[in-house]
Structure 1
Amino acid sequence: MSSAPYPRLLRTPGAAAFFLTATVGRVGIAMTGLGIVWLVHGRTGSYTSAGLVSGGFAVAEALVGPQLARLIDHFGQTRVLPPLLLAHALAVATLLTLVAGDGPPGLMTVGGVLVGATIPQLGALSAARWVALLRERRPAELPSAFSLESLGNAVGYLAGPTLVSVLGANGHPALGTVLAAALVVTGGGALAAQHRTAPRPLTSPTGASTSAPVPGAAGRSRTRGSLLRPGFAALIGLNLAIGVYFGAVQVSVTAFAVEHHAATAAAPIFAASNCGGLLAGWLYGTRRWRTPPQTQLVVATSGLALACLLLLTAGSPLALGSVIVLTGATIPPVLVLLSVLAESTVHRAVLTQAFTWLNSAGAAGSAGAAALSGRAVDAFGARGGFALAAAGAAGMAVLAVGCWGRGVWGD
């Protein structure tokens, strides 16, 4: 085991450029939702209005994102990204104008919807480029590439919210939103300019089809660009379940810290969990695994489910932090394996859509769990929220075992 796979991957011609520029954009994406909360609350003083606008952003991002990915699969990243980024910049400017002009909450919510509907899913685009580079000649390196992607996402969601919170807390909420948009447009624009590593679109600039059947028996089963297949439906269910875990844990850890009169402990607990996840994701990607990914997924989800049971037994913030680090360490391998199975399940013509739908499913599960866990915490305390997180993890394990037993993703 060594870290050699990562330098080797980044030495692939064009790989470092698209990965780094996409990571810059991901920091901006991670800033946008929280930045809207700071922006609207800073102007109106109302968390209700801030929640409405940020909620509109999140719903639009989850629903419209896969449709934008469909356009990208058909016409290519380099053709769709430039007008999409222009639309996103205009949407952010519209929202800033509405907030600065003390517009009614309804109009500000429309502005949030426009921002969410135009934000590109740069992580999915970067993952699709790895597949285009490696699928034919170096397929065994795809898990390491997806591990690298998970590290890029983790860094983005560590740095982005921290940066926007610092700006908001120091009285510059609008600057946080502007900076988020600037990072998205800069990273996305640089990605669009890199033609060499972009996946081949389904249609050429002249409108002619560029798709070709994939050779071999496995290829023939994936020649139709449809996501309506049992293997992908199972992956959607797994991402929903892991979203439930995320949403429930975020609420429950905070509630647990408050219950134990240690509200300031919540931030170190989350930081420890994130650092543990980064380390686990790094280590996972440095090894060439011989065990089939569907079997690995059974092991990883079962480990997460068992670790979540320990959440119900934690009696102090220190004990909870130890368990959260343990559960957090199982998440990166699960996310990498879901990407690996998605790549092997769907046709390349719909790969960007597939990655985006998985992200949307996770976001939907997280949003729903955040609301449900809030009620569970009010009724039963923090352990009620942890019970919901454990239920989500158990659901993942049961679904993974069922799909493995039925051979949904092959042998």
Structure 2
Amino acid sequence: MSLTAPPAPAPRITYGAVLGSPYVARLLGGTLTGRLPNSMAPVVMLLWATASGSSIAFGGLLSALYGLSSALAQPVKGRLMDRHGHSAVHLPAALLNSALLVALPLAGPYGGPGLGTAIVVGGGLTTPPLEAGLRALWPSVLPDPRLRHAALALDTGTQGLLYIVGPLLVAALASAYNPAVALAVTAALGLAGTVTVALAPPSRHWRPERTGVQDAALARGLAAPAVLLLFLSLTGIGFAIGAMNVWSIAMAEHHHQDMLSGTLPAAFSTGSFLGGLIYGSRTWPGATTRRLIIATAAFLTGWLPLLTLPSPYAATVAIAVPGVFLTVVVACTYVTTDALTPAGRTSEAYAWLILSIGAGQSIGTALAGRLAEQPLASAVLPAAGAAFALTILLAARRRLGPAGQRQRGRHNKP
């Protein structure tokens, strides 16, 4: 009797193989560069406002309006990409966004606060939807699901670097020159990164899958209960992040260590980056929905040490733990969204996902700001947001699982 040799194990996926695949390094690098204004613009707007004689409150309002208008416009731009392609949306948006950022310093001498506010809102509305666009491109750029899994984790994990590099670059430019120069550099980086992505062949040639389903049916698919519950859970994730940012400032004030306001978010972002590297370096067993719930539970657990009101050093170490699992949660959410969403609406679905996190972050920031003077309440809020997300996911797990996805006509990708 002859024995059949067992099949050889599939070769291990490395990040070198991912980045060496055609267009991956260009798309990832261009997207990160083009999204730097997301982390730079809110900071430089605050610095510009105060340097122009306005109050910190007005500068904070401008920063909040830029982020909020950018988030609210995401689904509209996602739908436009699904109808007209990526380059047709990215290029006009980048040109308008960069022009408005460069024009902002003119608002002081010529239009005052009203014109400045209008320019900021216009700049937010015209931010290129690079994040949603990149996620929609991965299936066409990387047909191998294992490579796509690693690319998605790398993509998600490196986003944390934006919020480390961006504010530091703004501070250096504003200190060496002035906020107007920092705004110009912010605009130039956003335009350069977006052009790099938009002119790449995968972006120029991308079109959504055509299923023959009418727009009304596609819209119903995007509003399916499973999709809505998934996006609702993400508001809890965003809430935790927004509350964490305010908690970091409260920690800095309580301990009279100004650097903590930057060190703590940086530690969180570093954890997110490392988590992405670890998660994407191997293929994990089990369904994506199960991994999503486990990662969200770990994300919640990671916030609990904050309830002990730790010292600055202990808090810096502890805050990296939920950051590690944030990348896993977001990566699994994108895969689940793809499995639940009609093929002709993927870019728009990813844009709604981004909006859900951004909306939750805004709510978390606002509520944490009101409770910042109460140390325990401030420390509880990130865990509360994570607990909300986990509760929704547990309630929706059957709708999100393979059975629910088969009903939607899609499949659960690795």
Question: Scaled by the length of structure 2, what TM-score is found?
Answer: 0.88
1:268 to 254, 263, 267: 263
Match of 1:281 in 2: 276
Match of 1:401 in 2: 394
Shift of 1:93: 3.4
Return closer, same or farther for 1:252/1:245 CA change in 2, 3 Å cut-off. same
Q: What does the per-residue CA deviation read over 1:273-320, in whole Å, with 9 as the maximum and x for residues that have no partner?
A: 322221111011101012111101111111122222221113311222
| Secondary structure of residue in 1 paired with 2:151 | helix
Q: Establish whether residue 333 from structure 1 lines up as the match of residue 336 from structure 2.
A: no
Matches within 5 A, 1:118-267: 118-134=126-142, 137-198=143-204, 200-201=206-207, 211-212=210-211, 224=218, 226-267=221-262
Contact 1:56–1:110 (Cα < 8 Å) also in 2: no
2:121 to 82, 99, 113: 113
Mapped partners of 2:256, 2:62: distance in 1: 32
Matches within 5 A, 1:381-392: 381-392=374-385
Aligned residue identity for 1:410: P
Contact 2:239–2:385 (Cα < 8 Å) also in 1: yes
1:302 to 297, 306, 315: 297
Mapped partners of 1:272, 1:28: distance in 2: 21
Contact 1:39–1:173 (Cα < 8 Å) also in 2: yes
Return closer, same or farther for 1:15/1:319 CA change in 2, 3 Å cut-off. closer
The CA RMSD measured in Å over matched residues stands at 2.4
Contact 1:129–1:199 (Cα < 8 Å) also in 2: no
| Secondary structure of residue in 2 paired with 1:74 | helix
Contact 1:70–1:352 (Cα < 8 Å) also in 2: yes
Mapped partners of 1:356, 1:2: distance in 2: 34
Listed as ranges, the gaps of 5+ residues in structure 2 are 1-9, 404-414
Aligned residue identity for 2:122: L
Match of 1:30 in 2: 39
Mapped partners of 2:19, 2:354: distance in 1: 24
Return closer, same or farther for 1:47/1:263 CA change in 2, 3 Å cut-off. closer
Mapped partners of 1:276, 1:201: distance in 2: 35
Q: What does the per-residue CA deviation read over 1:44-67, in whole Å, with 9 as the maximum and x for residues that have no partner?
A: 241122123223222211111221
Shift of 1:132: 2.5
The number of aligned residues is: 392
Return closer, same or farther for 1:237/1:252 CA change in 2, 3 Å cut-off. same
Q: What does the per-residue CA deviation read over 1:190-221, in whole Å, with 9 as the maximum and x for residues that have no partner?
A: 2111134556335xxxxxxx72359xxxxx9x
Aligned residue identity for 1:398: T
Listed as ranges, the gaps of 5+ residues in structure 1 are 203-209, 215-219
| Secondary structure of residue in 1 paired with 2:21 | coil
Contact 1:376–1:384 (Cα < 8 Å) also in 2: yes
Contact 2:90–2:194 (Cα < 8 Å) also in 1: yes
Return closer, same or farther for 1:223/1:94 CA change in 2, 3 Å cut-off. same
Q: What does the per-residue CA deviation read over 1:122-177, in whole Å, with 9 as the maximum and x for residues that have no partner?
A: 1221111112223xx42343321211111331222221111112222345111111
Aligned residue identity for 1:251: V
2:368 to 350, 360, 373: 373
Aligned residue identity for 1:124: A
Contact 2:197–2:203 (Cα < 8 Å) also in 1: no
Question: Scaled by the length of structure 1, what TM-score is found?
Answer: 0.88
Contact 2:230–2:393 (Cα < 8 Å) also in 1: no
| Secondary structure of residue in 1 paired with 2:167 | helix
Aligned residue identity for 1:269: L
Mapped partners of 1:184, 1:2: distance in 2: 37
Mapped partners of 1:179, 1:290: distance in 2: 44
1:47 to 51, 56, 64: 56
Q: What does the per-residue CA deviation read over 1:381-403, in whole Å, with 9 as the maximum and x for residues that have no partner?
A: 22211211111011111112222
Shift of 1:2: 10
Return closer, same or farther for 1:55/1:321 CA change in 2, 3 Å cut-off. closer
Shift of 1:358: 1.4
Shift of 1:244: 0.6
